[in-house]
Amino acid sequence: MATHPDPIKQFAINKLLPLDINGVDLSFTNSSLFMVATVVLTSAYFLWSTGGRGMVPTRSQSVSEIVYEFVAGMLRDSAGSSGMKFFPFVFSLFMFILIINMFGMFPYFLTVTAHIIITIALAMAVFLTVLVVGFGRHGVGFLKLFVPSGVPMLIMPLVIAIEIISFIARPISHSVRLFANMLAGHITLKVFAGFIVSLSAMGTVGIVGSILPFAMTVGMTALEFLVAFLQAYVFTMLTCMYINDALHPGGH
């Protein structure tokens, strides 16, 4: 099966600039390259497009404004206007994940978010922000988050245990969702594309038959673009909701 491409190979990490400091591997890898490219591209675009500051926005400026309004609306609806303090954080998260996912859609490009270490780092950043802000603002009162109102005292310990488990599950599900969707989508895409190659090696019948996986690959590619956007959207929306919990534990 030499013609069969390895569907996992696309996620391989290559060291571009090997760097080793005291046994800690700090190499600049292709993963780092894509992250740097994402940050540079996003920052450059927003600096360039908002540079004119026109009352009547140009096309590029209105794209920036639409993205701003989209994320700001999401945050304001979830966490209220006091949540807007976290807008830079939430907006950076959204743009970073969105652009990195879109970079992953290019052939031969690495999908950085298909590595769980990246998504864990992003989710932990959100989780720690929620913890620090929650305890910083409310002190012990933040623990009210685990005590839902209107529960009989008898089953209260049980409910608190359940709430704590679901709180701990948050950063894990937050990161696994993004990682698993990107990984599974790209592997499926690669496997179906691989079918075309191995089928068309079987002669005329194979070439005719490979139309099916080809159609599938085209459809999957469109779906992957949708997933790439939706994952960024879901990640950001949940971040907004978690920030809301940090600001208003125990409901309003």
Partner 1 sequence: MSNSHRQGPLDERLKSLDKKLKESDKGRTSSERKSDNVNFSNAIRLSTEFVVAILVGIGIGWTIDRFFGTAPWAMIIFLPLGFFAGVRNIMRASGLQSGSQSENTNENDDNSNRD
DSSP 191-250: HHHHHHHHHHTT-HHHHHHTHHHHHHHHHHHHHHHHHHHHHHHHHHHHHHHHHHHHHSTT
57 binds partner 1 (CB under 8 A): no
Query: Residues 10 to 49: which contact partner 1 by CB under 8 A?
Result: none
Which member of 41, 131, 143, 176 binds partner 1 (CB under 8 A)?
Answer: 176
Which member of 13, 40, 128, 172 binds partner 1 (CB under 8 A)?
Answer: 172
Of 222, 232, 210, 155, the residue nearest 185 (C-alpha): 222
238 binds partner 1 (CB under 8 A): yes
Contact (CB, 8 A) for 96 and 38:
yes
Which member of 47, 169, 202, 215 binds partner 1 (CB under 8 A)?
Answer: 169
Q: How far is CA 81 from CA 78, 85, 130, 145, in A?
A: 9, 8, 17, 20
Taking CB under 8 A as the binding criterion, the range among 13-21, 98-106, 190-198, 231-239 that sits at the site for partner 1 is: 231-239
Taking CB under 8 A as the binding criterion, the range among 26-34, 131-139, 145-153, 198-206 that sits at the site for partner 1 is: 145-153
Taking CB under 8 A as the binding criterion, the range among 3-11, 26-34, 65-73, 88-96 that sits at the site for partner 1 is: 65-73
Of 182 and 199, the one with the shorter C-beta distance to partner 1 is 182
Identity of the residue numbered 121:
A
Which member of 5, 148, 206, 209 binds partner 1 (CB under 8 A)?
Answer: 148
Angle between helix 116-138 and 156-200 (nearest 10)? 160
Contact (CB, 8 A) for 119 and 179:
yes
Contact (CB, 8 A) for 4 and 192:
no
Nearest approach, Cβ of 245 to partner 1 (angstroms)?
5
Taking CB under 8 A as the binding criterion, the range among 69-77, 93-101, 132-140, 195-203 that sits at the site for partner 1 is: 69-77
Q: How far is CA 6 from CA 93, 101, 132, in A?
A: 31, 21, 43
Which member of 1, 55, 165, 222 binds partner 1 (CB under 8 A)?
Answer: 165
Of 251, 245, 83, 76, the residue nearest 166 (C-alpha): 245
Contact positions toward partner 1, by CB under 8 A?
69-70, 73-74, 77-78, 144-145, 148-149, 158, 161-163, 165-166, 168-169, 172-173, 176-177, 180-181, 226-227, 230-231, 233-234, 237-238, 240-241, 244-245, 249-252
